[in-house]
Amino acid sequence: MTKTHAEGVGFRSERGPILIALMLTTALVAIDSTIVATAVPSIVHDVGGFSSFPWLFSGYLLAQAVSVPVYAKLSDMVGRKPIVLAGIGLFMLGSILCGVAVSMPALIAFRVLQGLGAGAVQPMAITIAGDIYSLAERAKVQGYLASVWAISSVVGPTLGGVFSSLGIWRGIFLINVPLCVLAGWMLIRTFHEKIERARHHIDYVGSALLTGAMTLIILGALEGGQAWGWNSPVGIGVFVVGVVLLVAFVFVERRASEPVLPLWVVSRRLLLTTTLISFGVGAIILGLTSYVPTFLEGALSVSPVLAGLALAALTIGWPISASQSGKLYLRIGFRNTALIGIVISVVGASVLAITAQTPNVVLVAVSCFVVGLGLGLVATPTLIAAQSSVEWNERGVVTGTNMFARSIGSSLGVAVFGAVANAIYARTANGSTNPHTIISASDTVFFAVLIGTLLTVVAVVGMPRVGREVAAPAEQAAATS
């Protein structure tokens, strides 16, 4: 078990080296999420498989999402350090294999391995931060971690474009190797935790049922309307079997001595509402990330770099507000801070939806910045509220559930928004390249994002009113010792 220290936050503090290690660890996933997209044309040209390339993203996202709850539970049993190091190892192995892949099926399989590593890396970085920093410090720490995503949103596409233009797309994967080695070395050297050893019972059946259920449900959401029709036997069957496995999982977890995803996570009002909020945040982020570049490139014929920079405003606004959110939630509470944030996001999403028929790069960038500014006041305080309401041996599961919900929200959000856009594209010949059709489809998607933002408002309103008193007794004692 780790212990919080009553000292400042920063690179020069006692915990500074750990913070740097966590930022490097986060960078592995952050850069990878943006660097691959720009290299897709070069990859397809070299190894073929154009019809299958979406699985480069779907396979990675699917593996990441379904593995998060398992890693989260294991971290509460054996500690954070071995899990995050195992995740870094898997991510590095997957990156090396991706860099030498000679066919699209092999590349997709190795991306799945990368995703399994990413499922441990991101949640563990956030959980470790929750372990070693006090309630008052966590917002600033989350700002540091969020800044990694902001930087990666610019660095990733730029590196991807450079590697592609030089004809060395394999470099987008091999560049992960030195980063993995550095992040792993720094964690081994700087992060130490004392675990109370005890005999544990691993919930193999529950883990298998949850993984199978969510794999089928996410698979159905990602591929519905693409690989098969929504109302086809396969499309319906995937969801039916997934739901059956999910029901079986609930029954198993009720009797398991150490369930992989305890049902108390959704029976406590604070944890349930913060999980729903994270689901909404995931859908909002992916809705904009997936369609803003397409909207600007197709409607205004702007360059991919310029479209990417407009979208980067989303991840620039987030760390700015996230790092300052602590001053708010310590004064007015988590719920009120999140309410302010979601209202700001509603304003940004509304402007984007209303003005989509008259596209403007600057206006889109400003709207994305405002949405990101609001989400920083939503995601960070609600995650910290959830973390602070439980003891150390439950924090991994709580953090993992929050990240899991965001991944599911992203997956289902992309599926829903994609179905909406594809329905509009199908109405006209060459709809996906017709500027007027692209504007119409993007306009509808942005209104769908706005609806998702408004639904997230409901979840925020449903949060209980809590402030500093939400912190678990053990954490309060550690913070004042």
Nearest to 358 by CA among 294, 448, 442, 433: 442
In CATH, the architecture of 8-200 is: Up-down Bundle (1.20)
Q: At a CB cut-off of 8 Å and minimum separation 6, what does 89 contact?
A: 117, 180, 184
User: CA 316, 144, 408: angle at the middle one, nearest 5?
Assistant: 70
Q: What is the pLDDT of residues 51-90, one digit of tens each?
A: 566 678 778 877 888 888 888 888 888 889 999 999 999 9
What does the domain layout of the chain look like in residue ranges?
8-200, 203-257, 262-481
Reply yes or no on whether the pLDDT at 312 is more than 70: yes
CA distance 14 to 10: 9
**H helix or E strand, kind and range, residue 257:** none
Residue 456: its pLDDT value, please? Answer: 95
E strands present in 298-452: none
HSE-up of residue 34 (Cα within 13 Å, Cβ side): 25
Q: What is the pLDDT of residues 146-180, one digit of tens each?
A: 788 778 877 887 787 788 778 888 998 999 999 99
CA distance 412 to 286: 10
Mean pLDDT score, 135-156: 79
CA 425 to each of CA 235, 419, 434: distance values in angstroms, whole numbers, following the listed order: 21, 10, 9
Reply yes or no on whether the pLDDT at 187 is more than 80: yes
Amino acid at 432: S
HSE-up of residue 468 (Cα within 13 Å, Cβ side): 12
Chain-wide mean pLDDT for the chain? 83
The SS3 call for residue 199 is coil
Q: How confident is the model at residue 472 (pLDDT cuts 50, 70, 90)?
A: very low
Reply yes or no on whether the pLDDT at 19 is more than 80: yes
In the chain, the percentage of residues whose pLDDT exceeds 90 is 28
**Size of the chain, expressed as the number of residues it contains:** 481
Helical residues (DSSP H) of 166-268, grouped into ranges: 171-174, 176-190, 204-223, 233-255, 264-267
Q: Backbone phi, then psi, for 230, in 5-degree steps?
A: -60, -35
Residue 329: its pLDDT value, please? Answer: 87
The b-or-e profile of 297-312 (16+ CB within 10 A means b, else e) is bbbbebeeeebbbbbb
- Do 262-481 and 8-200 have the same topology in CATH? yes
Residue 480: its pLDDT value, please? Answer: 36
CA distance 272 to 275: 5
Among the four given CATH numbers 1.10.357.10, 1.20.1250.20, 1.10.540.10, 3.20.20.60, the one describing domain 262-481: 1.20.1250.20
Q: What is the pLDDT of residues 352-411, one digit of tens each?
A: 999 988 888 899 999 999 999 999 999 989 988 998 888 877 888 888 888 888 888 887
Higher pLDDT, 3 or 93: 93
Q: Which residues pair with 224 in a beta bridge?
A: 228
CA distance 478 to 135: 11
